[in-house]
Structure 1
Amino acid sequence: MKDPNTKTVTVGDIAPTATNDGDLHKGDVLAIEETRGITIKEHELSFWAAVRQWPKAVGWAFLFCVAVIMAGFDAQIITTFFALPAFQRKFGYEYNGSYIISAPWQMGLNMGNPIGQALGALACGWPLEKLGRRLTLAICCVWSIAFVFVQFFATSIGMLCAGEILGGLAYGFYVVIAPTYASEICPLALRGVLTASVNLAFVIGQFIAQGVAAGLESRLDEWAYKAPFAIQWLWPVVLLIGLVFAPESPYWLVRKERRDDARKALMRLSSAKNRPDIDGMLVMIEQTDLLERELESTTTYWDCFKKANLIRTEISVMVYLIQVIGGNPLIAYSTFFFETAGLSDSESFNMGVGNTALGFVGTCLSWPLMLYFGRRSIYNSGMILMTIILFVIGFLDFGRSNSGAVWAQASLMDIWTFIYQTTVGPVCFVIISEISATRLRGRTIAIATAVQAVANIVFTVVLPYMLNTDEGDWRGKTGFLFGAISLGCYVWCFFRLPESKGRTFEELDILFERKVPPRQFKNHNLVAGESENEV
């Protein structure tokens, strides 16, 4: 039975309890009233109808994802250099008749991207809220153009490391801005696909890097590694041109009390021929912001760890962290992994290209999957399959003297990548974009990005010593380590990962404030009223 002392309140009207301290307590109930009509319309809107209504939002979300291509390209190209003969001769040393890059320098070069991401992600909170999404991204593009010069003209491996770290600061901004912007400019029906496009951008960057490295593998001059750096000047130029015309996030404009500008932005994001309910969308944005103001008046990093935001931050951090600790570093090391597993240089590069190509196909396949299946279902299914494959790769390494076992490991690595890029990879960006509160989204994603970057730094230190032939020479046995970690992560996902598919940001705010258990999110009905959720 419903407690007679419990007061049902509309969005923006949070009833204090007997303590009169203004905080939410057990017994307080939040309900959708002001936006019930538009919320129902959001639930009923199909994917293709949303595309017809918001075609420009799709285009602008993809443009912002171009920035993430840079992050994926840079992280991948550095690791492919370790198997590039021209780079090995320039910056490596001779070992058993061939040139290799020492494990400490591999660690140092790989540190640049994750260190830059960690620092950049934590630094982006203030400019994102103060300057907006467009201007912040434009400043980062100028920064990237400047520090690609350092990488291109590097005369020593130390100078190259410095360029990687300084350039990596912008990458921390990019991986926060892209999913934040994509989630704030589209209706509910498009949110999954557009935020998952961030992962596709990573894969595109990795694919281009692998293709460029494979194409230059036979070159023995300095252009074998300088040309890839020069390519990185392309992306920020394209972005700067597009940003001149891009609309700002309506959610950010509403928070800055620029209602008219927010309405104009929604008009620019939608189709003139199939105009959606702009006023209804604007009311929903305003009510969501009003609700979050009532729940938490400030937007500091500390607020991400207070009240219901703590679990939202936990979920965002974990799903992003799992990308690293669950085996993702092996994708970046795929070419080097194949080489140390026993394949030739050309076979390793070709397998590396195939690996990223499968990732591209997998990410595209994730889009229709998300239209029919929930985020939780896809993510957890991927975790189970990936864990099994990692253990199989590890067991196969006991027969690594057999060429068939080596090819089986390489093939399973490709299958693992395909499953990862179909499930955990893209769905991660959907979850962190949906789970975080709109007023704290930039900071929550920044925290998650920084944590996964720190974890990436740890594996950047460890992996070269595990894989290098002059160090641990683990080869396929690396699968045991990541398999065990992945199994533990799946247990967390089973108990702590909620279902956010089909929920507006306002609904998610209410579900978290009500402290609905994560495994019950899917079946908790907010729109129909309280009685349907009572037992």
Structure 2
Amino acid sequence: MDQTSESKPHHAHEMEVEHQAVFAEKTDLADYKADAIEAENVEHTMTVLGAVKAYPMASFWAFVISCTIIMESYDVFLMGNFVALPAFKNKYGVLDTATGQYVIVTKWQSALQVSGQLGALIGVFIAGPLTSRIGYRWATLTGLMLLNVFIFAFYFAESLPVIFVAQLLEGMPWGIFIANAPAYCSEIVPIKLRAPATQMLQMFWAIGSIVVGAVTYTYSNVNEPRAYKVPIALQWMFPTPLAILIFCAPESPWWLVRKGRLEQAARSVERLGRRSQVNAAESVAMMRRVIELEKSVKQPSHLELFKGTDLRRTLIVCGVYAAQNLTGNLIANQAVYFFEQAHISTNLAFALGLITSALQMIFVMLSWILTSYYGRRSIYLWGSAANCILLFALGIAASVGLSKSANLAQASLGLIVSVLFTLGPAPASWVIIGETSAIRLRPLTTGMGRATYYIVEIPCIFLASYMLNPKGGNLGGKCGYVWGGTALFCLIVAYFGLPEMKGRSYREIDIMFTRRIPARQWKKTDININDDE
């Protein structure tokens, strides 16, 4: 009897402590939810210019991390230009008896252009788990240091197989950069800056091609090894300066909140914005609210990407990435070689390639305005539709017979397709990729999406090289029929599956995916600021 009477108060005490803990947790939740609502309202009411003024360093660090894309772009366009560079063709090509000129055989032409992508495919699968574990900064720094080493292998290579292996090794750090950059950019800036911050990636892709175009154009008439050795060596310009800058960069506050490091997250927010205009505690509360919404007892895994509502998000990211290779992008990547096959002289082909890259950079900057004010879905769909029409027009121009007018028409349409791609579908893609994935799974989702890009790109490169090569399909501009057909398919899928996420917070995006709202209804759907599910 005594034991029972003693145990009851003890049990009652345990219950009381438990209730107090639950009450404290609810009180804490209520406290930070109020702060979270305030922070989200502030972001919604910001203008684009106001967001830049409030978060100037966030814009700067997004700019810095985007610079890593220059390196992949540089090398992708470098290999595309090398197959058209006389010194490189004379060293590694075979004599084409029909023309009396040296050409890189189709299998090696394709192999060299996919080697970096094969390495990057490995890199993106490494990037997700690595970034989830050590953060965006250290994962990117690891990639930069490895790239410094792998450039040596490329520079001293003296045969096509060694160049292939060197490119494959270089591709692994690219995979880390391309998986991390859009995710990091979208996490460190407020809602109104997500579009321009992630679209900078496409601008730096264009800058990489401009640098390559300028260098290879300079050496297009030099028939010595330095014509291709100097462009290879110039790759060392990028990794070390970028590593120094990224070492000084703040870690993504969203990543820190995911790890439960709230004080560090608050300091990171303070480094990204002006203290006079940014309330770090409220911003961290907003992040906690979203992360609690996505909370799971399981560790993030690739398998989770294909379950429940995350499957739809993964398919959107993978579909948008895959479509980049199916809507005329490969014409842009092989612009110089395409112009040569349209019977344009070598010098003019390199000049047109350089002009294409310069126009691409200008059009990417124009896309910042369009995507910020008109939305992602609209720009993506209208841009893709215009590309479809132009690609079919390219095929028609190549079908009317050989003449100077037909050749110039093909070259002009190839240039327009390449440039228009960077006004609509390409930059909008980066915004969609950065916004679609769940915060918890973001490094894994962006890695999986980019892996899809490479899986689609590799056979497409072989197909593109075969269609353009005189010893292959020799289609020239008739390849427009093929890419027009694939672009049309992508346009139809995007029309039914791509939602409009302009102006949406990550909380709203999570809720809309959870509620399974159809893609075409997103723009008309209102989400209450108090909703958590």
Output the TM-score relative to the length of structure 2: 0.91
Q: How does 1:424-443 map to 2 (within 5 A)?
A: 424-443=425-444
Cα gap change, 1:528 to 1:62, in 2 (>3 Å): closer
Residue 40 of structure 1: how far off its partner (Å): 2.2
* Partner of residue 476, structure 1: 477
Of 149, 152, 157, the match for 2:152? 149
1:237 matches 2:240: yes
Of 258, 282, 285, the match for 2:284? 282
Q: Contact (CA 8 Å) 2:35, 2:282: kept in 1 or not? A: no
CA–CA separation in structure 2 for the residues paired with 1:255 and 1:410: 50
* Partner of residue 38, structure 2: 37
1:138 matches 2:157: no
* Partner of residue 494, structure 1: 495
* Partner of residue 413, structure 1: 414
Of 157, 170, 173, the match for 1:170? 173
Secondary structure in 1 matching 2:524: coil
Residue 472 of structure 1: how far off its partner (Å): 0.9
CA–CA separation in structure 1 for the residues paired with 2:443 and 2:239: 21
CA–CA separation in structure 1 for the residues paired with 2:219 and 2:354: 13
Of 234, 249, 253, the match for 1:250? 253
Secondary structure in 1 matching 2:278: coil
Q: How does 1:5-16 map to 2 (within 5 A)?
A: none
Moved more, 199-208 or 496-505: 199-208
Alignment length (residue pairs): 499
Letter matched to residue 275 of structure 1: Q
* Partner of residue 398, structure 2: 397
Q: Contact (CA 8 Å) 1:312, 1:436: kept in 2 or not? A: yes
Residue 107 of structure 1: how far off its partner (Å): 1.3
1:222 matches 2:229: no
Q: How does 1:99-498 map to 2 (within 5 A)?
A: 99-272=102-275, 274-294=276-296, 297-498=298-499
Letter matched to residue 482 of structure 2: L
How big is each residue's C-alpha offset from its partner over 1:71-100, in whole Å with a ceiling of 9 and x where there is no partner?
A: 000000001011100000111111121011
Q: Contact (CA 8 Å) 1:181, 1:249: kept in 2 or not? A: yes
Moved more, 502-511 or 297-306: 297-306
* Partner of residue 94, structure 1: 95
CA–CA separation in structure 2 for the residues paired with 1:528 and 1:175: 33
CA–CA separation in structure 2 for the residues paired with 1:191 and 1:120: 25
Residue 39 of structure 1: how far off its partner (Å): 2.1
Q: Contact (CA 8 Å) 1:50, 1:187: kept in 2 or not? A: yes
Gaps of 5+ in 2: 1-24, 27-32
* Partner of residue 522, structure 2: 521
Residue 277 of structure 1: how far off its partner (Å): 2.4
Secondary structure in 2 matching 1:522: helix
Q: Contact (CA 8 Å) 1:113, 1:168: kept in 2 or not? A: yes
Cα gap change, 1:259 to 1:33, in 2 (>3 Å): closer
* Partner of residue 28, structure 1: none
Residue 435 of structure 1: how far off its partner (Å): 0.5
CA–CA separation in structure 1 for the residues paired with 2:413 and 2:463: 22
Secondary structure in 2 matching 1:178: helix
Letter matched to residue 277 of structure 1: N
Residue 391 of structure 1: how far off its partner (Å): 0.1
Q: Contact (CA 8 Å) 2:37, 2:529: kept in 1 or not? A: no
How big is each residue's C-alpha offset from its partner over 1:414-438, in whole Å with a ceiling of 9 and x where there is no partner?
A: 2112211011111111001101001
Residue 113 of structure 1: how far off its partner (Å): 1.6
Letter matched to residue 377 of structure 2: R
Letter matched to residue 288 of structure 2: E
Gaps of 5+ in 1: 1-11, 14-31, 531-535
Q: Contact (CA 8 Å) 2:128, 2:179: kept in 1 or not? A: no
Q: Contact (CA 8 Å) 1:40, 1:527: kept in 2 or not? A: no
Letter matched to residue 294 of structure 2: E
Moved more, 506-515 or 408-417: 408-417
Q: Contact (CA 8 Å) 2:394, 2:478: kept in 1 or not? A: yes
Letter matched to residue 270 of structure 1: G
Letter matched to residue 524 of structure 1: T
CA–CA separation in structure 1 for the residues paired with 2:450 and 2:529: 36
RMSD between superposed Cα atoms in Å:
1.5
* Partner of residue 25, structure 1: none
Cα gap change, 1:158 to 1:518, in 2 (>3 Å): same
| The structure with more radius of gyration | 2
Q: By percentage of residues, which structure has more helix?
A: 2
Residue 180 of structure 1: how far off its partner (Å): 1.0
Residue 34 of structure 1: how far off its partner (Å): 6.8
* Partner of residue 75, structure 1: 76
CA–CA separation in structure 2 for the residues paired with 1:38 and 1:527: 15
Residue 164 of structure 1: how far off its partner (Å): 0.3
Secondary structure in 2 matching 1:422: coil
Moved more, 458-467 or 124-133: 458-467
Q: Contact (CA 8 Å) 1:36, 1:527: kept in 2 or not? A: no
Residue 33 of structure 1: how far off its partner (Å): 7.3
Secondary structure in 2 matching 1:198: helix
CA–CA separation in structure 2 for the residues paired with 1:92 and 1:488: 37
Q: Contact (CA 8 Å) 2:267, 2:280: kept in 1 or not? A: no
Residue 504 of structure 1: how far off its partner (Å): 0.7
Residue 330 of structure 1: how far off its partner (Å): 1.1
Q: Contact (CA 8 Å) 1:70, 1:235: kept in 2 or not? A: yes
Cα gap change, 1:279 to 1:400, in 2 (>3 Å): farther
CA–CA separation in structure 2 for the residues paired with 1:363 and 1:35: 33
Secondary structure in 2 matching 1:473: coil
Q: Contact (CA 8 Å) 1:189, 1:502: kept in 2 or not? A: yes
CA–CA separation in structure 1 for the residues paired with 2:383 and 2:251: 35
How big is each residue's C-alpha offset from its partner over 1:110-159, in whole Å with a ceiling of 9 and x where there is no partner?
A: 11121111111011111101111111111101110001001101111111
